[in-house]
Each structure stands twice: as structure tokens, then as C-alpha cells.
Homo-oligomer: A and B are copies of this chain.
């Protein structure tokens, strides 16, 4: 009897394991299928559907099959305990005729769901614990975003990015929250609301749908080499607002007024929530930056670069430990990982051996790709397999309107205010593009699926899913059309031809052609650079100087030696902290931050400026004769479709030395004269 019981238990565990493997296999095969299809698309140059959108479609199809195609008989291995229990402990020991079995708490189940649990075993099996997203899938995505942030342009536009990400997300959150509260009130009047829906719920909804994820748009930007400033603004905003939305939503959840009437406004609870927001955000930020700096110091003081495997492993482990440390301290791991990624890219990356630089980039690129497509295919799947959907037409329409208005209330007023201070204005077509590129993605989904216990949360989840589907498919798919409609120049075929064979070297080694605004490059030599720097914000200048003169020399093997930047009284300290490599750098300052895409972008920027300026000021459109044909949107379309090679020839004439501190149309003349 003893043995037979054991065998039955083992058999059950084995069966469950086999089922788990089969479920995971579904996703792996889905991803494989996505990869093959997306290869076909890329091969045939279809650009209307991104791999994430495709992953969702495949997920949807599999979801339909699982829901309607496969019938799994009622699983009899579940049992509801009849005897009265007073608590729900995390671990439960159950005495079955003298043998003890350990059970762990999985979660609460709605009373009306109890029957479902036993019926739809198959559907429940393919449902992951939502914490999987926060602990396994999101960290590599967010770290990759931080690690691949185009640093020079990010720092140059830092003020605007921070404004969009912080102020903008909060504005968007409250606008959406208020609009949804109105919508919910209306629904209550009409009698369409089937459960509680408080103002905090509305705000929570506002927070989760404020996290933009323009991965689809940025992929096309990258491919088409669209303006780097626009790219930096969009990418920087989306990376940071994920973090803001995450912390914001958790501090809204933490809003707990005392007393019976727990859903009213209360000052102290509000302040406490605000304190939590600040504390969690700054704590996560500090932790992320700290581990980044520790990694930089380790790679600075050891000669780990001789052993690439150890170096890569250390880099990976330190980045992972940021996440765990933040979670263990009660901060937000995903936010910490983001700032860790930025710090690693800014400092540690310079200390790595070239081989490890490639390895780490490729590793996180792969992890990001897999995690992202996994999430999106799961999203598609969950539309059919999630069993507590609440699709409410009024709420859905309200949400779409609110999301649209929330995004508008973020972009347009802030852009207006920022343009007052910016010399390099954010033009209206850029603003429209940013408005359009407010896609919702992985973070929104993860936040909405994290808790689907109440009616309000279930309705939010179903609506969020639709918002994500709509934005990814429609906005993502229409990016190229929107770009040409907004007359934002992109110069793909030109760039491809220009930088065909001897990439990299070609750009860096041709001295007379100064490309773009290398504000990160050096600050000592060329006087025409200084003009660029003067137009940057004072905040950025202070940070840049401090970073370049003190942090970089201390933390990396690049940058000027400390002996040159510190006052003479600190001589011995400076000599101790300066690595031998730094002295070599003194003469020929390597631009360690620049990578090829950046520099491509730089040229592109100047080119883009000209084109757009012709649009903006109208009269100048026919100013450059060689150029007139290319500027009309018809020609743009033609180039898009046929990859017009004539344009390439015309295009090359325009890339000539020019100083981008002058106004754009002077630029054009200047360029033409040379």
C-alpha cells in the first residue's frame, strides 16, 4: 500500500511535468514559426507587420485552437477540501492516512470560478503565473533597452526625455484616469457596470496604459534611418516611462486610506503614496546605478578582459544581481535593471574587451528578442484562453478615447513648453509622429495581467489587451505611411549605398567630413564644436563636464587622464586612479561612445534637417535644384516602393561638411557652396 501510494503520486507528478513540457513546447514552436515567417517578410521586404505583431497573430490562432478545438476531459485530480480552515498559510501540510504532503499556496480563486478550475484544465495549464513576466521576461527586455540606449543623443535630449517620461506619464495617467472615471460614472448611470469600480482603479488603469512601447515603430525607424533626435526622444521616453508607469501603478495600489470608507480621498494616504513613488523610484535608480558602477570598477581594476568568458559571465551576473537585490530590498527590480543597463553601457562597456562587448550586446539582443516575442505571442493566446474576460463596449470605447487624449495631453503641451527652451525645436510633424507612436506593449500587458482578481481589474485587462492589439497592428503597421505623410525624411537607400562596403573605418577615418553633432566626442579641440555645446542645456553641460572629466577617467579606461582634469593639488590621487591607457588617450581621444548607427544617424540628421526644413518653410523647397524632386511626398513614396536609385546619386551631393549650429537653410546654402 505504501509503495502503491508512492507510485501514484510519482505518476501524477510525471504526468504534470509532461503536460508542462508540452505547454511550453507550444510557445517555443510559436516563436519558431514567428521567426520563419518574419524571415520571409524581411526577405520579401514587407514592412507592414513587425515580428511582435506577427507573434500576436500566431498566439491568437493557437488560442482559438486551444479554446475551441481541444477538449480535455475533466481532471479528477483536483479536490475541494470540505473541512473548515481558518487561515490560508503559504505552506500547507496535509496528513493523508499517516503520510504528510506539502502544498504551496498558488493564489485565491473567485468563488464563481471554482467550477471552471476543474473544467478547463487545459486552458489553465497554458496560463503562466503573472510574476513570470516581472521576474523572467521583462528584466532582459528592459535591460536591453537601457544597454542599447543611444547614449549621445539620449543625453543631448535628456531634458526633453525626462519631461515626457515623468511629467508626461503623470499627466497622461491623470487625464486617462479622470476620463475613465467619467466613463465609469456614465456606465453606472446606464446600468452597464457589473461590479465595483473606484477612482483608484481608474487611476491605476491610467498608469498602466501610460507605458508606451514603440518597439514596432523604432524597428522601422532603425531600418529606415529616421532622424536620430526623434528616435532618441521616442526611445528614451518609452524606456523611462515604463519605469515611471510601473512605480506609479504600484504607488496607486499602495494608496490605502484608513477607516471604513476606504475609497475616498485622504491627504495623508495620498502623501504616503507620493512618498512611496519617490522612495521606490529613487531607491531602484540608486541600486541600478550602484551595481553598474561596481561592475565598472571591477572590470577597471581586474584584468578580466583577458578571459572573455569570465568577463561576460561577470557582466551578466552583476546585471542580474541588480534585479534580485532591488527585489529583495523591496524596490522595483525592473527599474533598477533599466538604470543598471544605462550605467553599464556608459561606463562598463568601455572597459570590456571588444570580444565581450560583442558578446554582451548579442546576448541581451537575443534574450530581448525571445522574451519580447514570447510576451506578444502570449498576449495573442490569452485573448482566448483567459477565462474571466469582461468586454464592456462602453468601457472599451471610453478607454480608446482616453488613451488617445491622454497621449495628446502628454505630447503637445509638453512639446510647446519644451520648444520655448530648446534651440533645436521639436517640430510639429515630429510631435504628430510621437503622438502616433504611442504604442502600448509588454509593460502595459504585464501590469494589467498581474492582478485580475476583481471585476474592475478583469475589465481593465480585457480592454488593455484590445488597446495593445490595436496600437501594435494599426499604428505599428502604418508607421511607414505615417512617416511619409508627415514628410519625415528617411534615407535608407542612400545610406545603404553610401556606407556599403568599408563601414565604420570609412566614417571615422575621413578627417575633413565632420559628421553631425558629436557633442559627446571631445570638448577641448575644435572651436566649431563649442558652438554646438553652447546650445545644449546648462544642466546637460554640467553633467557632461563632470562625467567626462571625473567619472569616465575613474570608472573606465577611456577619457582623459585624471592628472589633466583634476587640480594640481590632487596629483598623487590622480596618478593612482589613472590607468596607463588613459595617457595614451590624451593625444588621440577615442570616441568610445560612438557606434556606427549613431554616426550614420548623424549624417542622416543633417540630411534630414534640410529636407524637413524645405517642408517647413515652403519657399525653400525649390531652393536646391538637385533636391526638388526628392522632397515631394510622391517621390518619397516612389522611393519607398521601388528603391529609386537616381535619388541615391542626388543624395550624396548633399552630405558635405556643415556646421549644424547654423539655422537649417543656411546649412543648405553652405552645403551647396562647398
CB nearest neighbor in B for A370: B313
A366 touches B78 (CB 8 A): no
Known interface pairs A25-B324, A107-B102, A318-B32; A18-B330 also in contact (CB < 8 Å): yes
Q: Check B314 against A35 for contact (C-beta < 8 Å).
A: yes
Contacts of A542 in B (CB 8 A): none
Partner of A80, one of B35, B93, B324, B365: B93
What are 28 A-B residue pairs whose CB atoms fall within 8 Å in the complex?
A9-B105, A12-B105, A13-B90, A13-B105, A16-B90, A18-B330, A21-B324, A21-B325, A28-B321, A28-B324, A32-B314, A35-B310, A35-B314, A36-B298, A43-B306, A79-B91, A80-B100, A84-B97, A85-B95, A87-B96, A88-B99, A101-B106, A101-B108, A103-B103, A104-B106, A309-B365, A312-B362, A313-B369
A328 in contact (CB, < 8 A): yes
Sorting the interface of chain A by its residue count into under 10, 10 to 19, 20 to 34 or 35 or more gives 35 or more
CB of B370 within 8 A of CB of A316, answer yes
- Asked if A3 CB lies within 8 Å of chain B CBs, one says yes
Nearest B residue (CB) for A131: B17
Cα of A618 to Cα of B310 in the assembled complex, Å: 43
> Is there a chain B Cβ closer than 8 Å to A117's Cβ?
yes
Contact of A25 among B106, B109, B328, B366 (CB under 8 A): B328
Q: Please give me the residue from chain B that is nearest to A76 by CB atom.
A: B89
Chain A residues 256-276 with CB under 8 Å of chain B are 256, 262
Q: How far is the CB of A611 from chain B (nearest CB, A)?
A: 29
Q: Mark A343-364, 1 if CB is under 8 A from B, else 0.
A: 0000000000000000100110
Is B92 a contact partner of A78 (Cβ separation < 8 A)?
yes
Nearest B residue (CB) for A453? B6
Assuming the A-B contacts A78-B93, A366-B316, are A302 and B39 also in contact, with contact meaning beta carbons closer than 8 angstroms in the complex? yes
For A12, A19, A93, A314, which residue has the most chain B Cβ atoms within 10 angstroms? Answer: A93
From A17, A28, A453, name the one whose CB has the most chain B CB atoms within 10 angstroms.
A28
Q: Which of B31, B91, B298, B366 contacts A77 (CB 8 A)?
A: B91
Report whether B111 and A99 are in contact in the complex, using a CB–CB cutoff of 8 Å: yes
Q: Mark A47-78, 1 if CB is under 8 A from B, else 0.
A: 00000000000000000000000000000011
Q: What 9 A-B pairs have minimum CB-CB distances, sorted nearest first? A: A83-B83, A103-B103, A21-B327, A22-B328, A25-B324, A21-B328, A80-B93, A102-B106, A100-B109
Q: Which of A555-585 contact B (CB under 8 A)?
A: none
Does A38 have its Cβ within 8 Å of any Cβ on chain B? Answer: yes
Least CB distance, A45 to chain B, in whole angstroms: 12
Q: Do A35 and B317 contact each other (CB < 8 Å), given the known contacts A18-B327, A307-B42, A328-B22?
A: yes
Q: How far is the CB of A323 from chain B (nearest CB, A)?
A: 8
The yes or no answer to A587 lying at the interface (CB within 8 A) is no
Distance in Å: Cβ of A359 to nearest Cβ of chain B: 5
Chain B residues within 8 Å of A106, by CB: 91, 101-104
Asked whether, in the complex, the Cβ of B31 is within 8 Å of the Cβ of A313, the reply is yes
A101's nearest neighbour on chain B, judged by CB, is B88
Query: In the bound complex, how far is the Cα of B104 from the Cα of A3, in angstroms?
Result: 22
Q: A80-B93, A81-B83, A88-B94 are in contact. List 13 more A-B contacts (CB 8 A).
A: A6-B453, A13-B90, A17-B327, A39-B303, A79-B92, A85-B96, A86-B96, A88-B96, A92-B103, A102-B105, A102-B117, A309-B369, A363-B366
CB neighbours of A370 from chain B (8 A): 313, 316-317
The answer to whether A366 and B92 have CB atoms under 8 Å apart is: no
CA gap between A35 and B77 in the complex, in Å: 46
Q: Is A320's CB within 8 Å of the partner chain B?
A: yes
What is the bound-complex CA distance between A330 and B11, given in angstroms? 11
* A190 at the binding interface (Cβ < 8 Å): no
Say which residue of B90, B101, B313 sits within 8 Å of A366 (CB atoms).
B313
Chain A interface, DSSP helix/strand/loop, else mixed: helix
The distance in angstroms between the C-alpha atoms of A110 and B100, with both chains bound, is 7
The distance from the CB of A374 to the nearest CB of chain B, in whole angstroms, is: 10
User: Which residues from chain B contact A86 at a C-beta distance below 8 Å?
Assistant: 96-97
Provide the residues of chain B in CB contact with A539, threshold 8 Å: none
Contact A18 B328, beta carbon cutoff 8 Å = yes
Q: By the criterion CB–CB under 8 Å, are A117 and B93 in contact?
A: yes
A57 to B69, CA, bound (A): 54
Q: Does A24 contact B (CB under 8 A)?
A: yes
A86 to chain B, nearest CB (A): 7
A647 part of interface (Cβ distance < 8 Å):
no
Q: Contact check, A314 vs B36: say whether CB atoms are below 8 A apart.
A: yes
- Using A9-B108, A79-B92, A94-B88 as known contacts, say yes or no to A307 and B17 having CB atoms under 8 A apart: no
CA distance A80 to B83 in the complex (A): 13
A589–B12 alpha-carbon span in the complex (Å): 54
Taking CB atoms, residues of chain B closer than 8 Å to A327 are: 17-18, 21
A405 at the interface (CB under 8 A from B): no
Residue A625, interface by CB 8 Å: no
Question: With A and B bound together, what is the CA distance between A278 and B125 in angstroms?
Answer: 32
B79 close to A321 (CB less than 8 A)? no
Query: Contact at B108–A324, with CB atoms within 8 Å?
Result: no
Give chain B nearest CB distance to A82 CB in angstroms: 8
Cα distance A32–B321 in the bound complex, in angstroms: 10
Assuming the A-B contacts A25-B321, A103-B104, A104-B104, are A38 and B88 also in contact, with contact meaning beta carbons closer than 8 angstroms in the complex? no
Establish whether residues A324 and B24, one from each chain, have CB atoms under 8 Å apart when the complex forms: yes
- A28 to B185 alpha-carbon distance, docked (Å): 50
Q: Is A619 an interface residue (CB 8 A)?
A: no
Docked CA distance A111–B98 (Å): 8
- How far is the CB of A17 from the nearest CB of chain B, in Å? 7
| Nearest CB in chain B to that of A31: its residue | B317
A674 at interface (Cβ–Cβ under 8 A)? no
Complex-state Cα separation, A174 to B88, whole angstroms? 49
Please name the residue on chain B nearest to A312 by beta carbon.
Answer: B366
A476 to chain B, nearest CB (A): 18
- Residues of B contacting A79 in the complex (Cβ-Cβ under 8 angstroms): 85, 87, 89, 91-93
Binary CB contact string for chain A from 531 to 564 against chain B (1 if under 8 A, 0 otherwise):
0000000000000000000000000000000000
**A414 is an interface residue with CB less than 8 A from chain B:** no
